[in-house]
Structure 1
Amino acid sequence: MVGAATSTAYSATKLALVGLAKSLGLEGKEHGILVNTVATSGYSPGAAKAIQSDQVMEAMTKYMPAADIAPGVLWLAHQDFQATGQSFAVAGRLMTQIFLAETQGYMGSQDLEWSLEDIGDHWDEVTDKTDYNIPTDAAVFGPLLFQRFSAGRSELKRDELQKGFEKR
């Protein structure tokens, strides 16, 4: 999911599963079915084959025993756990949430020419991670996107936008 040289198909498949879990999480929620993904990292004979450093191997053995992954995975199946359509990681005793985010970006003017040079001149804005959105689903993302296009003008009303992206 984070990319690795010589692991193109593996990485692409992992990210595809994130999208699948997001969609299944939305579809299953009304039926009490929660769907999430978990990316695990821990010392195992398979992981050991990929490690080229004795120091890294020693640290993995100490801080990332495979058995330490179980409580994090079990929490995701616990009756008190309520998140759905999310992605988590468990590495040893570290549990984190993984998410896709969108920066505020750069909005080119409708009154000026839109060009690759314009984008290049504002690339710092495109990639500025100090403020970002975490799209939860298309029904939330779509209206937000179109609100940004209208930049506060009343061309598209919020309720009309939401109707446009509702599940059919």
Structure 2
Amino acid sequence: MTDHQRFDGRVAAVSGAGRGLGREFALLLAARGAAVVVNDIGVSADVDRYDTDGGVPPEVSADAGRRDVAQEVVDAIVATGGRAVANTADISDPAQARTIVDDAVTAFGRIDIVVNNAGVVITHPLAELSTADLQLTHAVHVLGALNILRTALPHMQRQGYGRVVNIASVEGGVIGSPGFEAYAAAKGALIGLTRHLGGSADIRVNAVLPGGRTRAAMRSGRKRNDGVERSAAAVAPPVAWLCHEACEVTGRLFAVSAASVRQITTRVAAGYCDPSGAPLSVEDIAAHWGEITERTEPWTPEGLEDFLDRWNTVDTVAAR
């Protein structure tokens, strides 16, 4: 972004903004003129992942147990002339999540931007994954985002403007990873939510699938030594752009890492459809399996109607 991409007069709320990616999102939006509600519960439900026995550096482990991280980010913003307030709500609780938007409206008069970043990462092997693990992950990533948006969207609709960025993941959106089942299921649901919200009253809702060197990435053991800058700060500019009034796309997914931004799309192969329109038998499917799985002629639907119009009739499939 160039310097004229600013957020003066806009008010943003960023969940999970006390550390890592969320902190960088809040700092950049504030540096570009937005007033920011910095939400972070402090000690998250997955705090046990960040002990030194798990291979996490001592400084990361010590930081994981602190509760004042939201206020520290606010202090950093205010120290440089910005405007911000801290919020320590647990977004998985609907009543607490409402306070994030309430604080924005009380302190700054409106809410224009929501970045749903807060999350937990549970990586138990599938055989050890409990129902409680799944429920907790879903409660933070999916219900947490919904809890904030249920309060924010009515404000955005009344003012005729809003921007929402959901922080999703490659797991759940593009390529799965063993051990990330609970996390991927929640992020996949968040991607589905992204595709269905927005699109009216100049409200735009998009998702970012980030790759950055955060404490969660460090704990998962993922390391790349290719000389590329993978700091959390490198992910912030594309998120800020999606929050900007000049960015008008909605329902889109973007993979962001280091110096790259790539749109992720769902593509549909030509497949096979019986020319007569008759229902397919198991034998028909087996006989035409090569055509069904062939990916040389895919197209990217513009939306549900495009998919239905071009896919659900024999003539349009045959024509392609």
User: Do they superpose with TM above 0.5?
Assistant: yes
Q: Distance in 2 between matches of 1:99 and 1:111?
A: 29
* Post-superposition CA distance 1:65-101 (Å, at most 9, x none): 2111111111111222110011111111211111112
Identity rate of aligned residues, in percent?
Answer: 31
Distance 1:14 1:116, change over 3 A: same
Match of 1:14 among 177, 180, 187: 187
Give the partner amino acid of 2:262: T
1:64 aligns with 2:234: no
Aligned positions of 1:16-31 closer than 5 A: 16-25=189-198, 29-31=199-201
Number of residue-to-residue matches in the alignment:
145
Retained in 1: the 8 A contact 2:311–2:317?
A: no
Question: Per-residue deviation at 1:23?
Answer: 1.2
Runs of 4+ in structure 1 off by over 6 angstroms are none
Aligned to 2:247: 81
Q: Give me the CA root mean square deviation.
A: 2.5
Aligned to 1:149: 314
Which consecutive unaligned segments of at least 5 residues does structure 1 have? 154-168
Return the TM-score normalized by structure 2: 0.41
Give the partner amino acid of 2:229: Y
1:101 aligns with 2:101: no
* Post-superposition CA distance 1:86-138 (Å, at most 9, x none): 11111112111111121110113438783223212222211221211222322
Aligned to 1:161: none
Which consecutive unaligned segments of at least 5 residues does structure 2 have? 1-171
Aligned positions of 1:117-156 closer than 5 A: 117-146=283-312, 148-151=313-316
Q: Distance in 2 between matches of 1:85 and 1:39?
A: 13
* Bigger mean CA deviation after superposition, 103-112 or 85-94: 103-112
Q: Distance in 2 between matches of 1:71 and 1:109?
A: 49
